[in-house]
Amino acid sequence: MQRITHVIYDLDGTLLDTEPLYRLATQEILDRYGASLTVELRAAMIGRPTPVAARVLVEMTGIPMAPEAFAAERDARLVSLFATAQPTRGALALTAHLRNHGVPQAIATSSMRHSLEAKRVAQPEWFASFDAIVTSEDVEHGKPAPDIFLEAARRIGGTPQVCLVFEDAPLGVQGALAAGMWVVALPEPGHEGLVAGAHRVIAHLDEFDPREWGLPAFP
């Protein structure tokens, strides 16, 4: 297997446990119209930039709400929720280990900049430790296009062939594969079959073995 020298992470659901918060805020709005956030709807939304995800939700549920109105209401609710978000299992240990060994690391997130700032609040030093953070507003095409991963790789000086991407979203996995990168998927329950193209599938970051990829082993 290719020796990995650079690592790129999705943010929501991969490094930061925000997906339950997204589900809560989304379902609160859908409850008003008797609609549900199904596994299929989640799979179609997760990993997309907010404007696109909002449009998908309105189209799939048929709720009488403009996508822009849904996005604005949900974002307002999420600001307070994001302050409670914690790193996912194994995220702090893995990122600190790789940082201590000089491995360049980037975040490639579909979040918009204002959303990213709200997520930084609880863990400012951790976010500052990454070599680059690329948002959906920094590229022309969001996931599942490869743009965001290619831009992250460019910023940390890695070619696609030496980059390993961690992603929880099926669309994000597609984008990373389209970028020509190696991919470890951490799918939500019910999405396992949608990330079959990933090179590895694990449940949590603490299951990752760096030695398989030529990265420094844990002590």
Locate tokens 């290619």: which residue? 150
Question: In the prediction, which pLDDT does 47 show?
Answer: 85
Residue 111: helix, strand or coil by DSSP? Answer: coil
What's the confidence (pLDDT) of residue 1?
58
In this prediction, residue 122 carries a pLDDT of 85
Catalytic residue numbers read 10, 12
Beta strands in the chain (DSSP E): 6-9, 105-108, 132-134, 163-167, 182-185, 200-201
Helix H or strand E segment including 46: none
pLDDT of residue 49: 87
10-residue averages of pLDDT along the chain (219 residues): 90 95 96 95 90 96 97 94 94 98 97 91 94 96 96 98 96 97 94 93 97 95
Domain limits of the chain? 6-17+86-213, 19-82
Contact between 113 and 17 under an 8 Å Cβ cutoff? The reply is no
What class, spelled out in words, does domain 6-17+86-213 have in CATH? alpha beta
Top CATH class of 19-82 equals: mainly alpha
